[in-house]
Homo-oligomer: A and B are copies of this chain.
C-alpha cells in the first residue's frame, strides 16, 4: 500500500529534478497514465522525470523513506500494462524518458553503453553509424526504450539468431528499491565472481529495482540478404523445413516466421497494397531470411539448395525468392500486417505462448480442435517466431457474431489455450511479460514452488513492496 504524497516530499523531489522533471498538470499527465493501445488506464500522484542516475536514485530514496510506491516507465508500448500505475492515485510514475544518453561506444570491445531512456531505434541507428548491428527489432522500436526492453526481456523476430534482450546484455546499472546505486556496468564476456545479479533485474518488470543504464553487445553488420516466401502443406512441414535450413545455414538464418492461411487472408483483405505472392492458397506459410557479413555472399544459391531438398521431401509446395529489396520488404509487410489486419475483424484475443519447437504442430492441432469444440466458428490466427517456438495464437470471433458475446468468452478461451500450453511444458508469456495482465494466469499455471522462490527474492530485494506493486505477482506480498 502506497502512502500519500506530502507537500514536503513533492517539494524535495522538485529540488532534485527541477521543474522540467515534474509533471503535475492533469492533462500533461495523461500520456503517462495509459499505454499506447489505451488498453490500461491508471492514476498517479505525480510523474517524475529525472535526468540522471544520481537524481533518480535520490528520488527513489525519498519515496522509499516515505513509503511511496513507484512505477518505472519507458515508452509505454508494452502489451501487458506493466508500466501503468494502479487506480489508487497514490503511486508515483518514474519516467526514464529524459535519460537518453549514449554514454560510450567501444568498437574494439563490440559494446555500447546506453541509458535506459534511449529509444530502441536510436540505439539501432547509433550502432549502424558505427558500422555495427544492434539486432533487437520489434514493431514498437520507434518508441519503445532500452529500459523497457530490459525490464521485459524483449524478443522479436531476430531472437532465433541473436537471442532475447537478456542475451544481448553484458552489464547493468540499477537503482535499488532503497535508492542505492548498483554499478554493474561491466563490458565483460566472462565474469565468474559470484551470482549473476543482472539476470535477476532483466525481465523483472521494475519489481526489484530500476535499470538506469546497460552495456549491450554489438554485432558485425550484415552485407548480404536473401528472403523467401514459402508455402507449406502443414505445420509439421515448417518444423522439418527449419531444421533443414538451420543445419545447412546455421547463423546465416536470421528469420523464420510461420503463419497460417487465416493470418494471410486477413492481411490480404484489410491491408492496402498487399497481394498474395503465390497463385493459389496454401495451409501454411513461412518467411525465411538469410543474412551474411560477407558482401555478395551466395545466399540465394544456398536458399535454393535448401528449398530444393525440401521440395523433394514434400515439405514445401511452392516458393518465391525475393529478387529485390523492395520485394523482400513486400514479403515482410505480409507478416507485419497480421496484427493490424486482425483488428478489422473485431476484438482480437491475443495469446503470446511458446512451446518446444518440435511440439508446435501437435499443439496447434490439439488447441485448434479444443477451441472449435467449445467455441465453434472462432477464427484462429496463428503465426509467430518458429525458431523460438513462439506463437502468437490470436482468436477472432466467428463470422456474423457480435463483439460483446465474443468478448464475454475471453477468459474461457484463454483458459483452453493456457491449459494446453501448460500441458506442453510451454510458457503463457513468451515475450510480452506479465505486467498487470497475466499475474493471475502465471499463478495458476506456473509451478507453485517457482512462484514461492520468486516471492522470496522479491521480499529480499524490495521488503517494503514499493517497486511497481501489482505487477508480476498476483496479489500483494503482505
Contact = CB atoms under 8 A, between A and B. Distances in A.
A182 B447 contact: yes
A284 to B, nearest CB: 16
A292 to B, nearest CB: 8
Contacts of A247: 131, 220-221, 293
Contacts of A453: 182, 195, 197, 461
A306 B399 CA distance: 60
A202 to B, nearest CB: 7
Contact of A249 (B202, B240, B293, B447): B293
A230 to B, nearest CB: 17
A411 B188 CA distance: 25
B186 A434 contact: no
A472 B190 contact: no
B243 A108 contact: yes
Interface string A173-208: 000100010111111111111111101101110001
A426 interface: yes
A183 B448 CA distance: 11
A185 B194 CA distance: 23
Copies in the complex: 2
B385 A190 contact: yes
Interface in A206-223: 208, 219-222
B197 A454 contact: yes
A217 to B, nearest CB: 11
B203 A200 contact: no
B434 A192 contact: yes
Interface stretch (A31-39, A266-274, A340-348, A349-357): A349-357
Interface residues of A, number: 93
A358 interface: yes
A434 B194 contact: yes
A250 B356 CA distance: 28
A250 B251 contact: yes
Given A190-B431, A456-B461, 16 more contacts: A106-B356, A107-B243, A109-B356, A109-B359, A109-B389, A152-B192, A188-B356, A190-B388, A191-B429, A192-B427, A193-B429, A193-B446, A220-B248, A247-B293, A249-B294, A457-B460
18 contacts: A107-B358, A109-B359, A159-B189, A176-B449, A184-B447, A188-B427, A188-B430, A191-B427, A191-B429, A194-B204, A194-B451, A195-B200, A197-B454, A248-B294, A249-B294, A250-B293, A457-B460, A460-B460
